[in-house]
Structure 1
């Protein structure tokens, strides 16, 4: 009869044994190309999507990030694309007080990181078909779709080298809010009540080899149930957040490490 080892890490289906580990595996994403498009939105409308203990930061910034992840150690060199939407927030719990970016949703085009991110870190990951980015005459572009229906387009153009003031401002902002935050929610059996409900943080580190600043835009589609029956309400909610001001966008190339021994993912309270 199969029994769980309390000292091992499991994921469903657990009866086949612990998660496979390899000496070649690590948290490093060796080759990451990203587009980061932030904008200021209406704080009241944004707050409708934040759970208790989270509040909109002083500046109501929503950030849409595309990342082309390649040469990933824990995936034996395989890769995937993602498009994430996060909001600048403050968290005030009984034990923890943090500022960072709250994950509203993260689309990925591979099941493996979706499952591990949802189950182990509480990141709200769901599936979409995500195009590899294209670069035509200096114009960067990608898009996501599901069931053959477009979710969004993300674009960055007019790229230039960042000024020293922009570099310093980015470093200051990162230092103040280096806490990716999420709500790890799993419903009870049959979908009613909850089996797990806890807030999490999942730090990472980024090494950037090349950074450019430009003009970014995100264009959302309005969808109906027949087009995307499991996600249309998410897409339409994000499409309904007004863009009050586009902030400078970033195109970057570098690497990312998701496992920092002294700052492992944890529950915050």
Structure 2
């Protein structure tokens, strides 16, 4: 009979054995091209999507990021595209306080990283068809769709080299604020109630080799159930977040390490309702 081996990493279907590990346990993303469009939104509008004990940060900052990930070690050199939306938050737990970004949603166009991220780290990943970015007359653009219907369009234009201050700010996260967070919610059997319910943090290290600053734009569609039966409520919620202040956008190239032995992914608190 099949038995789980202590210390091994499993995913469904677990009875085929532990999850295969890449050589040297590397989760390095060797070639990343990204587009980032940030903006300030209304605090109350954002707060309704934050589970306790998360709070909106001093600035109600939303960041929309596209990443073209290539030469990914744990995918044996294969790659995929992603579009993520995160919010600047503060975690006020009973034992610690963290500042960072809470992931509202990430779309990816490959099932493998979706399943690993959802099950092992609590990252809210879902599927979409995401176009490789295009560059026409210096303007960068991409888009995402599902069930043949557009989710969003994203573009950055008027690119220029960053000033020294911009290179410092955009080149690395703020001191003590590089804490990506998610909500690992897995429903109980049958779909009603909670099975697993905990807030998580999943640190990584990104190194940028090239940066350009420009004017960014994100256009969300308003979808019906018939157009996108599983995601329309997510898309419409993001479309409804007001854009109060547009901030400089960024195009960048670099790499990332998703496995940091000194800062492993972990649960930071169970989620509790009042």
Coarse TM-score class (shorter-chain normalised): over 0.9
Report the Cα distance in structure 1 between the residues aligned to 2:30 and 2:218, rounded to whole angstroms.
Answer: 27
| Alignment correspondent of 1:237 | 237
Per the TM alignment, residue 45 of structure 1 is displaced from its structure 2 partner at its CA by 0.4
Structure 1 pair 18–173 and aligned structure 2 pair: CA distance change class (3 A):
closer
Report the Cα distance in structure 2 between the residues aligned to 1:266 and 1:254, rounded to whole angstroms.
Answer: 26
Report the Cα distance in structure 1 between the residues aligned to 2:25 and 2:137, rounded to whole angstroms.
Answer: 37
Report the Cα distance in structure 2 between the residues aligned to 1:150 and 1:58, rounded to whole angstroms.
Answer: 33
Per the TM alignment, residue 176 of structure 1 is displaced from its structure 2 partner at its CA by 3.5
Q: Provide the secondary structure at the position in 2 that maps to 1:267.
A: strand
| Alignment correspondent of 1:262 | 262
Residues 11-26 of structure 1 aligned to structure 2 (within 5 Å): 11-23=11-23, 25-26=25-26
| Alignment correspondent of 2:139 | 139
| Alignment correspondent of 1:167 | 167
Residues 77-96 of structure 1 aligned to structure 2 (within 5 Å): 77-96=77-96
TM norm structure 2: 0.96
TM norm structure 1: 0.98
93-102 or 108-117: bigger deviation: 93-102
Per the TM alignment, residue 96 of structure 1 is displaced from its structure 2 partner at its CA by 1.9
Per the TM alignment, residue 179 of structure 1 is displaced from its structure 2 partner at its CA by 0.3
Once the two structures are superposed, what CA deviation does each residue of 1:141-175 show, in whole Å capped at 9, x if it has no partner?
Answer: 00000000000001001011111122233367532
| Alignment correspondent of 1:253 | 253
| Alignment correspondent of 1:2 | 2
Q: Provide the secondary structure at the position in 2 that maps to 1:88.
A: strand
Report the Cα distance in structure 1 between the residues aligned to 2:97 and 2:139, rounded to whole angstroms.
Answer: 40
Per the TM alignment, residue 132 of structure 1 is displaced from its structure 2 partner at its CA by 0.1
Q: Provide the secondary structure at the position in 1 that maps to 2:242.
A: coil
| Alignment correspondent of 1:130 | 130
Q: Provide the secondary structure at the position in 1 that maps to 2:174.
A: helix
Q: Which runs of 5+ in 1 are unaligned?
A: none
Q: Which runs of 5+ in 2 are unaligned?
A: 270-274
Q: Provide the secondary structure at the position in 1 that maps to 2:256.
A: strand
Contact persistence 1:100–1:177 (CA under 8 A)? yes
Residues 56-205 of structure 1 aligned to structure 2 (within 5 Å): 56-170=56-170, 173-205=173-205
- Figure out how many residues of one structure are paired with residues of the other and give that number: 269
Per the TM alignment, residue 24 of structure 1 is displaced from its structure 2 partner at its CA by 5.5
Report the Cα distance in structure 2 between the residues aligned to 1:172 and 1:204, rounded to whole angstroms.
Answer: 12
Report the Cα distance in structure 2 between the residues aligned to 1:260 and 1:197, rounded to whole angstroms.
Answer: 24
Once the two structures are superposed, what CA deviation does each residue of 1:74-130 show, in whole Å capped at 9, x if it has no partner?
Answer: 000000000000000000011121000000000000000000000000000000000
| Alignment correspondent of 1:214 | 214
